[in-house]
Amino acid sequence: MCSSDLAKQAFAPARVHYESIEPVAESFGDLDPAIDARIDDVDDPAQWTGFHRIEKALWADNSLAGIGPIADELDADVATLTTKVATTTYQPAELANGASDLLTEVSTSKVTGEEDRYSHTDLWDFKANVEGSQAAVSALRPVIDEKDKALGPLLDQRFAAVDTLLEQYRVGDGFTLYTELTDEDKKKMTDAVDALSEPISQVAAVVTS
């Protein structure tokens, strides 16, 4: 198996770690676009770095020529981020709003397939985004349960519904490619995430009341 094939296999599993912490990505500053910008997000394509630059090389360009320095920079940025988050603290409203905003992004823009437009590994991202949002909410769960006893069980139910839906597209350790989903599949995804977003949108007000 050639290096490009191995890199393609590693792409989605490597990315899920970043996608799972995306509820607090705004706190990363310039590291977020350096690691996760899409081509639409950069003014100068020559300065484009991160996961999606490598994704384009692998699936669209079918060449790793010149990608070594990009990969090295990604490694360095991730190392810097690891150091940064080790000492970063978050307010309850930041966690709640970050989870809510991320799921809104999933159901309104990521569901179109624009995120991983070359590899079509979007469902790996969705799974990680949902797990990250669930982790953010879980950190607030003691306060949620104290202040609104009905909200926690509703969140559990809606998270479970999204997880059940995603598991329908499971293939081995990963997921089916997003291009293989029908419009009906995508609508089900949008509806399930929207249903989850509604109670999550209430969390910030509950925990800060």
Complete DSSP assignment for 28-54? GTTHHHHHH--GGG-S-GGG--SHHHH
pLDDT the model gives residue 1: 56
The model carries a pTM of 0.94
Give the separation between CA 34 and CA 18, rounded to whole angstroms: 12
pLDDT at 3: 73
Q: Which residue type occupies 142?
A: P
Sign of CA dihedral 15, 30, 75, 50: positive
The proportion of the chain whose per-residue pLDDT surpasses 70, expressed as a percent, equals 99
For residue 5, the model assigns a pLDDT of 87
Structure tokens belonging to residue 11:
């792409």
pLDDT digits (tens, 9 = 90+) for 117-151: 999 999 999 999 999 999 999 999 999 999 999 99
pLDDT at 160: 97
pLDDT at 2: 62
C-alpha 3/C-alpha 70 separation (Å) is 16
Residue-level pLDDT at 4: 82
Of the candidates 64, 89, 78, 4, the residue with the CA atom closest to the CA atom of residue 34: 78
Low-confidence ranges of the chain (pLDDT < 70): 1-2
What is the percent of the chain where pLDDT is above 90?
91
CA neighbor of 118 nearest in space, from 21, 51, 46: 51
Confirm if 88 and 27 have CB atoms less than 8 A apart: yes
Q: How far is it, in rounded angstroms, from Cα 193 to Cα 191?
A: 6
